Amino acid sequence: MADVVPAARQPGPRRRACWQAALTLAGLVGAVWLVRRHWPVLHTGAVRLALADHGWLLLAATAAAGTWFCAALAQQGAVTRRLPPGRLLAAQFAATAANHMLPAGLGAGAVNLRFLMRCGLTPARSATALAVKATAGVVVRAALIAVLTAACPGLLRLPRLSGAAVAAGVAVVLLLPGVVLWPRCRRALAAVLADIRAVHVCRGRAPALWGGSLAFVALHSLVLIAVTRAVALPLAPERVTLLYLAASSAAALLPTPGGLGSLDAALALALTVAGAPGAAAASVVLGYRLLTVWLPLLPGLLVLGVLVRRKAL
């Protein structure tokens, strides 16, 4: 009987390994399918970008790579425990690729959640750490939008709404959290606030959280700014940054994988409204997406597969 029990348990790890390999393969197949589906667009963008200034494109590519370091810095700042730096950076790179396979940030959230749990955090603490990082990102974006809107008056044109529509919106914002969401989210919000206080007490964590969150947004804006300069689109850097923040915030309302489609349309529309010609706006969007999505996608999925195989996720 002692020999039978281990033999009965033996297929468990093999079955899990098969499922992990199947999921990795499915991710790779999905990436290839996405590339083939959008190949005409990618080819047109590559032709346009081949004629652009390569120095600005190199700066844009460097900034895009720096976003992974910023994401790792912000994630480290969201927890009081020290995380392994190499695996943390690899997890952020893999999370970026996974985020383009699932909608509304689910891919990145799942990867980071598994990584934090592998590092010894409980599921509740891991989820709270992700919420702390997300909260810092939202606060940083809102502050930047407020500052840049004041610096670039008239760039963002809000639609005209009637008094009844404004009153209804205010009522929903004020009453819905208090009546429906507050009882359900009170504990989660209390946990997030407690962890934010703990992070600020721990020396060095708060600068990492807020500095990483700010640098992440700044580098994404720098990618877009550098691509606009590469295609000789004369837009001021602060205007491009504000357009990126507004477009990415609007695209977040439509949960598509990695913002594919929604962010592209929002960016193209924002650049066009700001005065960019349609062809130049399309070239900028293609260059930005090529550097932030398509080029890192397959290497990121390979890193994700390696991390899963080594049980780092």
Which among 31, 63, 7 has a CA at the least distance from the CA of 302?
Answer: 31
How many other CB atoms sit within 10 Å of the CB of residue 75? 26
In this prediction, residue 13 carries a pLDDT of 54
**Helix, strand, coil share of the chain (percent; to 5):** 80, 0, 20
* Residue carrying structure tokens 């749990």: 117
Mean confidence (pLDDT) of the chain: 79
Question: Is a pLDDT exceeding 80 seen at residue 190?
Answer: no
Arithmetic mean of pLDDT, 133-152: 91
% of the chain exceeding 70 in pLDDT: 69
Distance between CA 308 and CA 313 in Å, rounded? 5
Three-class SS state of 202: coil
Distance between CA 294 and CA 252 in Å, rounded? 19
Arithmetic mean of pLDDT, 276-300: 87
In this prediction, residue 62 carries a pLDDT of 96
Please state whether the predicted TM-score (pTM) of the whole model is above 0.85: no
Contact 181, 50 (CB under 8 A): no
Arithmetic mean of pLDDT, 9-18: 53
Query: pLDDT confidence of 241, banded at 50, 70, 90?
Result: very high
In this prediction, residue 249 carries a pLDDT of 87
Arithmetic mean of pLDDT, 217-246: 93
In this prediction, residue 252 carries a pLDDT of 77
Which range among 75-84, 87-96, 141-150, 191-200 shows the weakest confidence by mean pLDDT?
A: 191-200
Question: Is a pLDDT exceeding 70 seen at residue 104?
Answer: no
